[in-house]
Amino acid sequence: MFSLCIVCLLVAGLLHMLRIHSTATYKTAMLTATSCQDIPARPNYLVTERATDAIAALNNAHHIEHIPTLNLPSKFYRLDPIQQQFLLLNQERTLRGLAPLTLDANLSQMAQGYSQQLRELHFFSHSSPIAGTFNTRINSNPLAFNHYSLAAENIAGNPVAGIGPIYEYMYDDAAEACGHRQNILDPQLQFVGIGLVYGSEYGSISAQEFLASAPWNPYSSAQLANSTPHISISVREQRNRGLLFLQAYTVGTIGSIHISWFLDNTNVPQHNGPVWSLNMLHLASGEHFIRAYVVDGEQHYGMSDLDL
């Protein structure tokens, strides 16, 4: 079994982007010089796939970094893996003198929706073929849009769902210039949402969404509806010109929506937006299919197919 993780950082507003980007670059350099180094997992939990070995590896890395060992509750190994991740995130912060993060229901729904996209659409990136970039995704959320000064995302695939991603982010991250570690230890960030799914080639896939509230327009969390959006396609044909006019209709969405159209495969969208004009004269002879996706502000998605 193997593991994989990718990091993303976003700042909101041009002035804040310039100021915070400069600071973030400096902090990354500092971490790389002083503590951004890979520490081999001892014991190697990726081989044994045991949660107890992953905790032992974290404590060994803490010893090497001269950080106190983890102080786990007696019921830790019975906790849901998302709760395990959250507890470990905050211990990594508080053992270094940083304030703990608040687990946020809205961000957790976003993280869960994106984790499902990663697994079900078989990609591993901060840019989704059906939902766009991290910038697009965070700004499609009605509670987050215009209410944050800094946002960030970590994603990981790991066989030890609750604990393994934390080891990756903290001690197996030099190839990413310790960006995951920087997100976890960023003192500006206040909220986190965690999502997790099983059944991938990595064993599990999880996403962490971080946010710092905007002082000028504070973030206020809420539990939004957890429902699957629906999309349908209407078709109008103009035979003399060989054109198909396609329109998508959606229901049950939250926040801003992203609609993408695919032709014959779902690798790269051919068009984004609710309406698409397709020139049939440009298609090779034979059967074709069209698929339309809608993704809402919580990263839930629906799809509809059309055979040509």
Query: Per-residue pLDDT for 19 more than 70?
Result: no
Determine the Cα–Cα distance for residues 33 and 25; give it in Å rounded to an integer: 12
Residue-wise pLDDT tens digits, 184-194: 999 999 999 99
Q: Supply the DSSP symbol for 7.
A: E
Query: Does the structural domain 230-307 have CATH classification 3.90.45.10?
Result: no
Mean pLDDT of 254-277: 93
CA distances from 170 to 133, 218, 253, 308 (A): 24, 29, 36, 50
Q: Please, which pLDDT band fits residue 3 given cuts at 50, 70 and 90?
A: low
Q: Please, which pLDDT band fits residue 292 given cuts at 50, 70 and 90?
A: very high
Chain mean pLDDT for the chain: 87
Q: Which pair of structure tokens corresponds to residue 162?
A: 């609750």
Determine the Cα–Cα distance for residues 194 and 1; give it in Å rounded to an integer: 22
Which residue, chain included where needed, has tokens 């992203």?
A: 258
Determine the Cα–Cα distance for residues 178 and 96; give it in Å rounded to an integer: 16
In this prediction the pTM is 0.87
Determine the Cα–Cα distance for residues 86 and 209; give it in Å rounded to an integer: 12
pLDDT of residue 9: 57
pLDDT of residue 176: 85
Residue-wise pLDDT tens digits, 53-72: 999 999 999 999 999 999 99
Mean pLDDT of 120-138: 94
Question: Order of strands across the sheet with 204-213?
Answer: 4-11, 148-157, 204-213, 191-198, 102-103
Residue-wise pLDDT tens digits, 202-227: 999 999 999 999 999 999 988 777 78
pLDDT of residue 206: 95
**Residues 243 and 278: beta-carbon distance below 8 Å:** yes
pLDDT of residue 8: 60
pLDDT of residue 267: 85
Give me the residue spans of the domains in the chain. 45-213, 230-307
Three-state SS annotation for 270-306: CEECCEEEEEHHHCCCCCCEEEEEEECCCCCEEEEEE
Q: Domain 45-213 is in which class?
A: alpha beta
Do 230-307 and 45-213 fall under one CATH topology? no
